[in-house]
Amino acid sequence: MDPTPKLAGIHHVTLSVSDLDTTLAWYRDVLGFEPVMSAEVDGMRKALLTRDGIRVSFVEHGDLAEPGPFSERRVGLDHLSFAVAGRQELDRWVEILDSHEVRRSPIVGGTMGDVLSFRDPDNIALEFYTV
């Protein structure tokens, strides 16, 4: 018998952002996420977005924010990868990212499938990866 309880999945991922309004608009307009809720707690603004059963939340830390750009080389988040069914979906995402003038990599072979890398308004590394 496994001594640890089962996990049902990842509930959500939270990204720290510099401008919540800009971020929410970008994830809505470019990636198609929809708002679920927003709140202000202890000087922080928070919001939760969802799409296709994926929940991503965002927090703007206000006066507690530490200045400086995102870097995947710092301890913490390296990147967030969204799974897509196959190469056809990656090709469609290329068109969408290009239509929004989002800088991106070409589609390349990754260690477990094909991958398309890009960044959000805070330079957070994102990717679409075939399953």
Q: Where are the domains of the chain?
A: 1-63, 78-131
pLDDT of 34 strictly over 90: yes
Task: Identify whether the C-beta of residue 17 lies closer than 8 Å to the C-beta of residue 23.
Answer: yes
Q: Do domains 1-63 and 78-131 have the same CATH topology?
A: yes
Quick count: other Cβ atoms within 10 Å of Cβ 103? 9
Q: How far apart are CA 22 and CA 36, in angstroms?
A: 16
CATH class of the region 78-131: alpha beta
Residue 53 burial (C-beta neighbours within 10 Å; 0-12, 13-18, 19+)? exposed
Considering the domain delimited by 1-63, tell me its CATH architecture: Roll (3.10)
pLDDT at position 78: 93
Of all residues in the chain, what percent carry a pLDDT higher than 70? 99
Q: What was the pLDDT predicted at 58?
A: 97
119 band by pLDDT with thresholds 50, 70 and 90:
very high
Q: Residue 2 pLDDT more than 80?
A: no
CA 72: distance to chain centroid? 13
Gap between the Cα atoms of 21 and 23, Å rounded: 5
